[in-house]
């Protein structure tokens, strides 16, 4: 059998790199799709001039740092430095606004999915297209910039996503995977490309304000999973690996969004399958077997990496507030003379959550660091609220924070019931599930269906995009769904947890309090305006 060292030296390993909201992660997999090594680099979004962003310098320095960390791990474990790969894939946070000039340079700082200042544009587009256009979609950002008369619009040559930007820098190809593209503009599932009727209607809106803009010419070309998306150029190799060891020529799969790679990482690309991704944001994806009957503001219609329609419930605020509490308690341990790893801190806190009251003892938490369109909150403030009779214990505090992370998702998923969309179970992934138990159990209570977690759950999107890169060699022979079933998850050892009646009843009571107290969010934002630049966790 070929050893990992021989595989890597021969250029037969596959590389995936994903730009998450708090970490850029690189994942190297072997021919059996098992992880050989990982590397990572932490970064944070910044709130600059009223918008959430990441600097372009941090994109490139973070890319190099994550790759260098991976190479260091490979060298330590196997005694070899990679010079080429069987395939490379780039994934990143979906949506947002990456506006480029004719030299493919940013015209304005990258505007992330977290920005919710596009209400006028999103509303007008939704009405004109008869299709829900969420606040964070690229076309909403574009139209809002047009409506606001932003100076850069006249110099706009192309639009893309963060994943598309990095892919283009490494390959020279202005393309997107269909799943990522579906967060820029609606996709027609029949053609696996932008919906031409919707393009015509959107162009008519733009014509009245910016007649020089031709939307179809601004958008990247759309590719489905398994398509050739270019290869690593000499400039791209030098950007990714300034040491000069990495050589040009490695093939690339289409760049995909974090939603698409999450579907792959949880084997949720076939109709009536679904997954939940928990990170800085939290979202659920359910692959549809028929079109929705009406427009729901809570539901995005996006696609799998193969182009099949997906109902997506996306919430801007996920596990960041839990991470903040974990840092506080971790620091308390240090001050008290007991240093714990991050995993140990999470394990202790999440275990304690299971010891809390089913309804979190009357506590109420909001994890809103930013606005939340699902609940109609324009600007967020994290809150912890309790009454004099609430039981303020550590277990109830952490259970309340976990419930808060899942509450908005639960509200958004009620629209799926209206459409009679059913799913037998949801597969969950993200760093929160590195710690077995509480997060999975309480998520099952919040969504009302069994929740499964694979052993690859904590690897998440970096592993998922590496799998899509490996699919390049098999796409001519098998569908993506069959590839995942037969070759990637054939020996799956997912652990499934059913909703527990006591937790279901406790979460329902919590959610009633949560809905009733939503006006507190609006009052808190009005009373505490953000007036300076800053970095958010």
Reported as a single tens digit per residue, the pLDDT across 306-320 is 999 999 998 989 999
For each of the domains in the chain, give its residue range(s) and CATH number, in order of start.
320-453+498-528 (3.30.420.40)
The predicted pLDDT at position 536 comes to 46
**b/e string for 209-218 if b means 16 or more Cβ within 10 A?**
ebeebebeeb
Q: Is the pLDDT of residue 467 over 50?
A: yes
What is the average pLDDT across 341-347?
A: 93
Q: Is the pLDDT of residue 109 over 90?
A: yes
d(CA 513, CA 536): 27
d(CA 135, CA 371): 10
User: What percentage of the chain has pLDDT greater than the value 70?
Assistant: 98
Q: 212 or 494: which carries more pLDDT confidence?
A: 212
Contact 40, 66 (CB under 8 A): yes
The predicted pLDDT at position 533 comes to 46
Which helix (H) or strand (E) segment is 61 a member of?
Answer: helix 56-78
Phi first, then psi: give them for residue 22, nearest 5 degrees: -125, -10
The predicted pLDDT at position 531 comes to 67
Contact 444, 451 (CB under 8 A): yes
The predicted pLDDT at position 355 comes to 95
Contact 62, 43 (CB under 8 A): yes
Question: Residue 459 — very low, low, confident or very high, per pLDDT cuts 50/70/90?
Answer: low
Question: Residue 387 — very low, low, confident or very high, per pLDDT cuts 50/70/90?
Answer: very high
d(CA 286, CA 262): 12
What's the token pair of residue 535? 């970095």
The predicted pLDDT at position 464 comes to 94
The predicted pLDDT at position 535 comes to 46
What is the average pLDDT across 375-398?
A: 95
- The mean predicted confidence, pLDDT, of the chain is 93
Q: What angle do CA 343, 348, 349 make, to 5 degrees?
A: 100
Q: What is the CA radius of gyration of the chain?
A: 22
d(CA 463, CA 460): 6
pLDDT in tens, 52-97: 999 999 999 999 999 999 999 999 999 999 999 999 999 999 999 9
d(CA 350, CA 395): 8
Q: Is the pLDDT of residue 262 over 90?
A: no
What is the average pLDDT across 117-136?
A: 95
Question: Residue 281 — very low, low, confident or very high, per pLDDT cuts 50/70/90?
Answer: confident
Question: Residue 277 — very low, low, confident or very high, per pLDDT cuts 50/70/90?
Answer: confident
Q: Is the pLDDT of residue 537 over 50?
A: no
Name the residue among 277, 185, 244, 302 with its Cα closest to residue 462.
Answer: 277
Phi first, then psi: give them for residue 384, nearest 5 degrees: -130, 120
Name the residue among 17, 14, 167 with its Cα closest to residue 85.
Answer: 14
Question: Residue 144 — very low, low, confident or very high, per pLDDT cuts 50/70/90?
Answer: very high
Range in 13-17, 215-219, 291-295 with the lowest mean pLDDT: 291-295
């Amino acid at each position: 059998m070929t050893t990992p060292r021989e595989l890597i030296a021969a250029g037969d390993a596959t590389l995936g790199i994903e730009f998450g909201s708090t970490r850029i992660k690189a994942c190297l997999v072997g021919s059996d799709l098992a992880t050989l090594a990982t590397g990572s680099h932490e970064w944070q979004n910044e709130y600059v001039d009223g918008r959430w962003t990441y600097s372009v310098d941090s994109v490139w320095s973070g890319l190099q740092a994550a790759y260098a960390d991976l190479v260091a791990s490979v060298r330590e474990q196997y005694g070899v430095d990679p010079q080429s790969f069987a395939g490379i894939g780039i994934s990143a946070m979906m949506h947002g606004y990456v506006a480029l000039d004719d030299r493919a340079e940013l015209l304005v700082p990258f505007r992330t999915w977290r920005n919710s200042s596009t209400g006028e544009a999103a509303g007008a587009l939704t009405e004109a297209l008869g299709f829900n256009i969420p606040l964070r979609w690229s076309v909403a950002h574009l139209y809002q910039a047009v409506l606001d008369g932003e100076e850069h619009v006249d110099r706009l040559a192309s639009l893309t996503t963060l994943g598309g930007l990095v892919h283009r820098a490494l390959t020279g190809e202005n393309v997107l995977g269909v799943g990522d593209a579906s967060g820029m503009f609606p996709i027609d599932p029949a053609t696996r490309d932008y919906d031409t009727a919707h393009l015509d209607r959107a162009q008519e809106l733009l014509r009245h304000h910016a007649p020089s803009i031709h939307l179809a010419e601004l958008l990247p070309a759309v590719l489905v999973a398994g398509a050739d998306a270019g290869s690593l150029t000499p400039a791209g190799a030098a950007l990714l690996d300034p040491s000069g060891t990495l050589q040009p020529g490695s093939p690339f799969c289409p760049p995909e969004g974090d939603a698409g790679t999450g579907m792959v990482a949880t084997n949720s690309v076939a109709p009536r399958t679904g997954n939940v991704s928990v990170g800085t944001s939290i979202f659920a994806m359910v692959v549809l077997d028929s079109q929705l009957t009406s427009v729901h503001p809570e539901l995005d219609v996006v696609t799998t990496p193969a182009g099949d329609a997906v109902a997506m419930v996306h919430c801007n605020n996920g596990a960041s507030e839990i991470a903040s509490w974990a840092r506080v308690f971790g620091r308390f341990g240090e001050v008290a003379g007991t240093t714990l790893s991050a995993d140990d801190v999470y394990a202790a806190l999440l275990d304690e959550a299971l010891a809390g009251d089913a309804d979190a003892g009357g506590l109420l938490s909001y994890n809103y660091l930013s606005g939340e369109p699902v609940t109609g909150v324009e600007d967020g403030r994290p809150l912890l609220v309790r009454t004099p009779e609430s039981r303020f214990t550590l277990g109830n505090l952490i259970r309340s924070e976990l419930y808060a992370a899942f509450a908005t998702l639960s509200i958004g998923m009620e629209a799926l019931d209206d459409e009679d969309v059913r799913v037998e179970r949801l597969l969950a992934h993200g760093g929160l599930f590195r710690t077995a138990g509480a997060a999975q159990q309480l998520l099952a209570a919040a969504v009302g269906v069994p929740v499964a977690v694979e052993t690859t759950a904590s690897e998440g999107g970096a592993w998922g995009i590496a799998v899509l890169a490996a699919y390049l060699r098999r796409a001519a022979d098998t569908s993506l769904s069959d590839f995942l079933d037969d070759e990637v998850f054939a020996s799956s050892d997912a652990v499934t947890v059913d909703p527990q009646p006591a937790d279901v009843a406790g979460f329902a009571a919590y959610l009633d309090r949560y809905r009733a107290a939503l006006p507190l969010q609006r009052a808190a934002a009005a009373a505490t305006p953000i007036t300076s630049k800053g970095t958010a966790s």
